Structure 1
Amino acid sequence: MRAIVWYGGSDLRIEDIPKPKLRNERHVVLRVKFCGICGSELQAYKGCSTRRVPPLVMGHEFSGEVVETGSDVKEIEIGDRVAVNPIISCGRCLACLRGRQNLCLDMKLIGMHMPGAFAEYVSVPAENCVKLPSEVDFEEGALAEPLANALHAVNRARPSIGDSVAILGPGPIGLSIMLLVQTIGVESVTVIGRSEDRLKIAEKFGANEVISIKNEKELMRIGEEVFDMVFEAAGSWQAVKTAIKFVKKGGRIIIVGLSHLKPMEDIGLMSITTKELDVLGSYGYTAFEFQKAVRLLSRLPMKEMITHIFPLSRAKDAFELLSQRKEPVLKVLLELDNGL
């Protein structure tokens, strides 16, 4: 089969590798349909992250069709259309027993610790497969993973109807957070970011206000201590510092973006103390949240976030587009099953 093998930095190669076999009798083999490119994979491509070790077939935001099942698999059948939760947990540690599989002591991620879905086929545990509702197509199914990340962040934050909410970073996860807090009934949502095109999408999705960080006059107009809750979804320490500035005393900051850019002491620990802020991390999602995200796909305009779809053979072009952003881009999918 063909796969996109990452050899470190921007070195991506299309190679013929053996088709995966069932790892055990509780696994299934999928024909991958679509796989999204995550910001963490882009960071690996740009040489900014060491969390993945080459050579590696990346890809963890994916949907596919079941083509083979192990003898002990009863809940999934050949031909089923599924989205895959890429978090593989041990099921035995205290975190797993508490339903917090994202904090498993022996957590593995498909596409990081084992071959992922930047390939025509992939072998995964049956229990990680969630059947797609009939009204959800494969493209939308590949968006279940970023939506689950957003859902976990919102569940951690526990927003109330009367809260004023700001979201820093209008990427796929930031925009998904916006859509989710709106479903709860939060009426005051401000989205702040750098990309004018992404801010326009936030406005289209119903943000009460969108502000470009390039517009210093607008940022000054906001003032300080104006939001009850701020989601940091940009993945930068500067965004964390901005969140501390904008959140009210006694407010809550939820850090969703992953950053390797600045040391911890730069973010303003004194303000966290003197303003008595609740600063929460949000990492991944639970198995239940992934299942719920799949059910939510048909209720949210997630598909409108997809701006580009590339065939497997043009994976390099897809990564370069995201890296250079020479044209408006939000969510990029790779189509693995079109023969190109």
Structure 2
Amino acid sequence: MLQAIMVEPGKIEFNDVPVSKVKPYQIKIKVKRIGVCGSDIHVNHGKHPYTSYPVVQGHEVSAEVVEVGSEVTNVKIGDKVTIQPQVVCGECYQCTHGLYNDCEELKVMGFQTTGMASEYFVVDASKALALPAEMSFEHGAMIEPLAVAVHAVRRAGDVTNKKILVLGGGPIGNLVAQTAKAMGAESVLISELSKYRLEVAEKCGIKTIDAKNEDILNGIIANFGNDRADVIFECIGINVTINQAINSARKGSTIVVVGVFAEMANINMGYVQDHELSLLGSAMYREEDYVKAIELVNEGLIDFDTLITHRVKFEDYAKAYALIDEQKDYAMKVMIEID
């Protein structure tokens, strides 16, 4: 089978490698779609803090089950599936208390261990979640980033009737906003510099602040009133936006950090303390987040199609990164097609 390997930042090679034998508790999948995410882009630029080379990427996937081990009961041949890409120890405090996304020995397929950028992939069946038969493979590959959003929103607690501000209108920020709205938020607002991403957010039914031309605090008050936002989600991972979140937060409110910071952040912790802000991290997801993500899609509450902007054949994998670098804001979600 063909496997795409990033041998160094910005360089992908294809190798013909054997498919692993399926063990009793495993399945073999034929990979259909791979989504490219912001963390993948960090790897391509050599800026991901926890990835070395060579590395096989691919963690946002949809696939068809083509073989099952003798002990597998949760999926069958022919099922559409997506895969949870975490590899965990199963023994640390977090793993033994249902918090495996925070495993002390966490490895993620496509970053610290082999990802699914290949024609076939053998994986433990426990990591597979069956998708509805009527769901497209493109939408199936979007369940992973949606699970990121679901987990982030859940980190804030019950958002019913809350006012929500999302900093960043990229795919994750957009999905966090859509998820908060779908889970009962009273009003949701995205702050973003890119005119195109603002237009995408509005097509998805989300109100916006043009951060390039409008003061963020003024925009918050204009939309939410003097009580400002109940919860702020930082979905970019840079100094500017985490400080915007802190400086524009209402005293006693909550900030959820979803963005991946490639560089050390410099924030005013004295302000966090004095304003009694709750500053929460959000890392990946658990199975219940995938289940909720699939449920939200089934209920017609999430718009994926507006976010998928480009499609690239598997053999042209490197073109996906070229598109993202060249078109930047206009390349929201790039899909790799393998069929």
The TM-score range, normalised by the shorter chain, is over 0.9
In the alignment, which residue of structure 2 is the partner of 1:287?
287
Q: 2:304 aligns with which of 279, 302, 305?
A: 302
In the alignment, which residue of structure 2 is the partner of 1:318?
320
Q: Secondary structure at the match of 2:10?
A: coil
Cα displacement (A) at 1:25: 2.0
Q: Secondary structure at the match of 2:49?
A: coil
Residues 111, 117 of structure 1: 8 Å contact kept:
yes
Q: Secondary structure at the match of 1:295?
A: helix
Structure 1 residue identity aligned to 2:71: D
Residues 220, 229 of structure 2: 8 Å contact kept:
no
Cα displacement (A) at 1:48: 1.3
Cα displacement (A) at 1:213: 2.3
Q: Secondary structure at the match of 1:82?
A: strand
User: CA 1:176–1:326 in 2, change beyond 3 Å: closer, same or farther?
Assistant: closer
In the alignment, which residue of structure 2 is the partner of 1:158?
157
Structure 2 residue identity aligned to 1:214: K
User: CA 1:326–1:180 in 2, change beyond 3 Å: closer, same or farther?
Assistant: closer
In the alignment, which residue of structure 2 is the partner of 1:80?
79
CA distance in 2, matches of 1:33, 1:27: 18
For residues 211-241 of structure 1, the C-alpha deviation after alignment (integer angstroms, 9 at most, x for no partner) is 22221x4436337873221100012121100
CA distance in 2, matches of 1:102, 1:161: 25
Structure 1 residue identity aligned to 2:245: A
In the alignment, which residue of structure 2 is the partner of 1:121?
120
Q: 2:246 aligns with which of 222, 244, 248?
A: 244
User: CA 1:38–1:198 in 2, change beyond 3 Å: closer, same or farther?
Assistant: same
Aligned residues: 332
Structure 1 residue identity aligned to 2:40: E
Aligned pairs (5 A) from 1:208-223: 208=207, 210-215=208-213, 217-219=214-216, 221-222=218-219
Cα displacement (A) at 1:159: 4.4
In the alignment, which residue of structure 1 is the partner of 2:230?
228
In the alignment, which residue of structure 2 is the partner of 1:268?
268
CA distance in 2, matches of 1:183, 1:213: 24
Once superposed, what is the RMSD of the aligned Cα atoms? 1.8
Q: Secondary structure at the match of 1:6?
A: strand
CA distance in 2, matches of 1:214, 1:257: 20
Cα displacement (A) at 1:116: 1.3
User: CA 1:70–1:195 in 2, change beyond 3 Å: closer, same or farther?
Assistant: same
Q: Secondary structure at the match of 2:306?
A: helix
CA distance in 1, matches of 2:328, 2:99: 39
Residues 209, 219 of structure 2: 8 Å contact kept:
no
In the alignment, which residue of structure 2 is the partner of 1:101?
100
User: CA 1:43–1:153 in 2, change beyond 3 Å: closer, same or farther?
Assistant: same
CA distance in 2, matches of 1:75, 1:226: 45
Q: Secondary structure at the match of 2:5?
A: strand
User: CA 1:223–1:105 in 2, change beyond 3 Å: closer, same or farther?
Assistant: closer
Q: Secondary structure at the match of 2:76?
A: coil
The 4+ residue runs of structure 1 with deviation greater than 6 A are none
In the alignment, which residue of structure 2 is the partner of 1:44?
43
Q: TM-score normalised to the size of structure 1?
A: 0.92
For residues 90-124 of structure 1, the C-alpha deviation after alignment (integer angstroms, 9 at most, x for no partner) is 33332123221101223232222332121111111
Q: Secondary structure at the match of 1:314?
A: helix
CA distance in 2, matches of 1:200, 1:220: 21
CA distance in 1, matches of 2:126, 2:190: 36
Residues 26, 125 of structure 2: 8 Å contact kept:
yes
Cα displacement (A) at 1:285: 0.7
CA distance in 2, matches of 1:293, 1:3: 29
Segments of 5+ residues of structure 2 without an aligned counterpart are 222-226
Residues 203, 306 of structure 2: 8 Å contact kept:
no
Q: TM-score normalised to the size of structure 2?
A: 0.92
In the alignment, which residue of structure 1 is the partner of 2:66?
67
CA distance in 1, matches of 2:85, 2:271: 37
Cα displacement (A) at 1:327: 7.0
